[in-house]
Amino acid sequence: MAKDMTLLWGSGSPPCWRIQIMLEEKQLQGYNQKLLSFEKKEHKSQEVLDMNPRGQLPAFKCGNHILNESYAACFFLENQYKSQGNKLIPDSPDAQALMYQRLFEAFTLGQKMVDVVYYNYKVPEEERHDSAVQRNKEALTAELKLWEGYLNKTDCCLAGKEFTLADALIFPIIAFMFHCGLSSERYPALAKYYTSLMDRPSIKATWPPYWKSTSGLDMLKTV
């Protein structure tokens, strides 16, 4: 089953990590995988382009199906392997509604994080402005305060007591932000969520190898 799956991925990439977590949660270990280097531009290689013409990671193939968007891949895996591994879409209408709300809100969280972390990478030097940097930081701070409030109202996971698809999709974003220096003192609810799930088997087994051998970054220390 898993032998018909191939994942090309990059260490520390939240979209790649989502699919890895899902494969572990659905007990689909043993899939074909290859770790590629962003620094060496391996995500632009022909091997990747053959699966993902955008030249981006992840590049994921399940049988004859190619799903390079991490949300699409995770939904597909949950729906195709409902009875295998952990069930990640709750039956309760209340929990299910909350799960869907949070996981789609994550697009906003992720974009505001990217606007801060990758500003210097994405914006040419002659087009950079201190006012834009400050505006992006303020927008991310406001977004993080929303998530602090959400987590203060739940029981350890985003949609209640049970780990759901929302956690599989959103934990990598939150972990990435703490790797980038997000303050656990300013965001205690997010920090509690992060530390409470670090040792979950699916997360521990797929922890970014690059993070294990390097110190954290500081792009979010002042957010």
State yes or no: pLDDT of 53 exceeds 90.
Answer: yes
Banded model confidence at residue 196, pLDDT cuts 50, 70, 90: very high
Architecture of the CATH domain 2-81: 3-Layer(aba) Sandwich (3.40)
pLDDT tier, 120 (very low <50, low <70, confident <90, very high otherwise): confident
At which residue do the structure tokens 């932000």 appear? 177
- Model confidence over 108-119: pLDDT tens digits? 999 999 999 988
- At residue 106, what is the residue type? A
Q: Give mean pLDDT, residues 69-91.
A: 97
What is the pLDDT, as a whole number, of residue 4?
Answer: 95
Cis peptide before 15 (omega within 30 of 0): no
More confident call, 148 vs 125: 148
Instruction: For residue 170, give Cα distances in angstroms to 6, 40, 55, 56, 154.
Output: 22, 27, 23, 19, 15
Q: How confident is the model at residue 136 (pLDDT cuts 50, 70, 90)?
A: very high
Question: Band of the pLDDT at 38, cuts 50, 70, 90?
Answer: very high
Give just the sign of the alpha carbon dihedral 30, 28, 176, 16.
positive
What is the separation of C-alpha 158 from the centre of its chain, rounded to a whole number of angstroms?
14
Higher pLDDT, 40 or 122: 40
Of the listed ranges 10-19, 129-138, 180-189, 206-215, the one predicted with least confidence: 206-215
Mean pLDDT of 59-77: 97
> Percent of the chain having pLDDT more than 70?
100
Contact 167, 157 (CB under 8 A): yes
Residue 176 pLDDT > 90: yes
pTM (predicted TM-score) = 0.95
Q: Where are the domains of the chain?
A: 2-81, 93-212
Q: 93-212 domain in CATH 1.20.1050.10?
A: yes
pLDDT averaged over every residue in the chain: 94
